[in-house]
Amino acid sequence: MANTKEKVAKFGKFLSGMVMPNIGAFIAWGFLTAIFLKTGWFPNEQLATIIGPMLKYLIPVLIAGQGGYAVAGKRGRVIGSVAVFGAIMGTDYTMLMGAMLMGPLAGWVIKKWDNWAKDWKPAGLEMLVDNFSLGLIGLALCVFGYYGIGPFMGAILAVLTAGVQVLVNNGLMPLLAIFIEPAKVLFLNNAIGNGIFVPIGAEQVKTAGQSMMYMLESNPGPGVGMLVAYWLFCKDQTTKQSAPGAIIIQFFGGIHEIYFPYVLMNPKVIIGPIAGNFVAILLDVMLGLGLTGPASPGSIIAYVSMAPKSQILLVLLDVAAAAVVSFLVSAPIVRRSDAVLDTGDAGTVDSSTAAGVSVDPTAIAAGTIKKIVFACDAGMGSSAMGATRFFKRIREVRPDIDVEHASVDEVPADADVVVCQKMLAERARKSSPATAQVVIIGNFLNDPALDALQTQLTTNYAMQHAAVAATNAASKAIESTPDPDAWNLSNDDIVLGCTTTDKESAIRACGRMLVDRGCVDEGYIDAMIERDREVSVYIGNGVAIPHGTNEAKRFVKKTGVVVLQYPDGVDFDGEKAYVLFGIAGKGDEHLQVLAKIAEALSSEEDAEKLAHASSKDEFLKIIG
């Protein structure tokens, strides 16, 4: 069953992959229709003459070219564009679906030809053979398209269009919601939207100027209503707090994938979006609503932009009705549920070898990671949003890392880390480089696996380089600072044998000592906590250096260093710190202390001695 679902998803993704890169052309055509058609916002008889040719010729050629390119690269794009022209001219129907067939077919034929011809092409005549073969094979496929594919696909479109009309005439269109919403949650949204509804919709727009088909899958209302229910009634606080962000991204960004994990964590809640879409489609039928082009992505902005001028308010009502019904049905289900946002395998950072054997994720050192790829089904929706958000999280510490997005089936060969949702994990592993680290997440907003990845890339990276950076900075400071005693510690600055506590309490204890010694004002303590939240102050070998943010220098009265020793250790996000150096620096004076700390860190043996020193004199002797 899982294998069948994966094959269906890959096929749908392949169809969608021919349409999605050309959505901009659909939008241009949609606006052209909405603005200049005789029933449009600003009717213009001359400009309206572009509408038909753009749909009949330009868009099918673009789709076929993309399909050919996916199979055979640049030569596939050319022959796909040539071949589809026969199908376009062989029927009166718009050949979007014909283009989805002719493009890949032409790419496959030329790829087979090239593989056969490479063994016998005469030296020096390669370009001649390549050009003539592409032209002649393209011509043959063009003729085949005219007499075969065009009439055949035209007949299929006639049957599908008639079938849609039967559903409309018998009031059965709303039942499509029972199929659409569950299929979307299984990541088939691009397949059914771009592979099925867009081609039928384009055919209807050609005669009616608008189509309901564009509204069936892309309506943002059902998903928003369900997310509002989670926001107001979910018992799990993490899930509840993530819902508002998901609402904004789904409603205004049009990334419907953002709400799929909320359904998967509690499958019964799918009833809400089904009910919402059922009501929306019912209103579409009753009011004769439709859009002039695809609403892609499915945001309220795109939805309204593609609405005919006379129907904008009714389209907004349609979305609102879907959201309200979805909310009312989802709310009691969410209220009674104890489900939490399931990350499945998320929370673990997995890396697989070519043989599929899981290995220790820390085998990939943070400093060697140069490219992270967020992957989703089409590579243009949730993955793009996820990549943008994550780059903002790490750019201050790791501007050297490229964060990109891609289709889960087309992960770049130089990816070091691949991030995807649970349902796409197997496909991601198959297409990822053998050495890539695969991070499985439940959602793109508030996921522990993303937090763990961020820690790996920033905190651990900072730990690896902190000693070197401190030593280099301190060396420069020593050269320019005349006071050699600025870094000296005294017995009064050291407290040994502290009772183990939590990280925040330990940092605050360091801050309190600095305040008591007149080194800083009270505000510096909170700045020390904030600094650790930004990037951990744990630097390795059992040592942490709590200090304030750059903005907190206004609280520093004079340079000071204090030491707290915790023989049993303090937990710093999975690492044990046995010695905490609380630091407040006036100018660069504290850097000399960092130099001494870095020097101690260079030897694990000395760091171990610091952790278990039994007297202050012994501690000072070790630190030098």
Strands 560-572 and 494-495: parallel
Residue bearing tokens 């673009």:
62
Structure token pair of residue 320: 């609102």
Cα–Cα distance measured from residue 601 to residue 520, given in angstroms and rounded to the nearest whole number: 26
- Say whether 234 is catalytic: no
Q: From 407, 413, 445, select the one nearest 432 (Cα to Cα).
A: 413
Contact indicator for 440, 421 with CB cutoff of 8 Å: yes
Cα–Cα distance measured from residue 598 to residue 510, given in angstroms and rounded to the nearest whole number: 19
Encode 45-54: b = buried (16+ Cβ within 10 Å), e = exposed.
eeebebbeeb
Task: Tell me the C-alpha to C-alpha distance, in Å, between residue 193 and each of 36, 217, 513, 571.
Answer: 26, 6, 63, 50
Contact indicator for 537, 531 with CB cutoff of 8 Å: yes
Cα–Cα distance measured from residue 455 to residue 458, given in angstroms and rounded to the nearest whole number: 5
**Sequence-separated (6 or more) residues with CB below 8 Å from residue 327:** 225, 226, 228, 229, 272, 276
**Candidate list 256, 405, 547, 590, residue with the active-site label:** 547
Rounded to a whole number of angstroms, the distance between the first and last alpha carbons of the chain is: 67
**Candidate list 142, 376, 420, 510, residue with the active-site label:** 376
- Residue 80 CB-half CA count within 13 A: 33
Question: Which secondary-structure segment (H or E) carries 563?
Answer: strand 560-572
- Say whether 519 is catalytic: no
Strands 417-421 and 358-359: unpaired
Residues that are catalytic: 376, 547
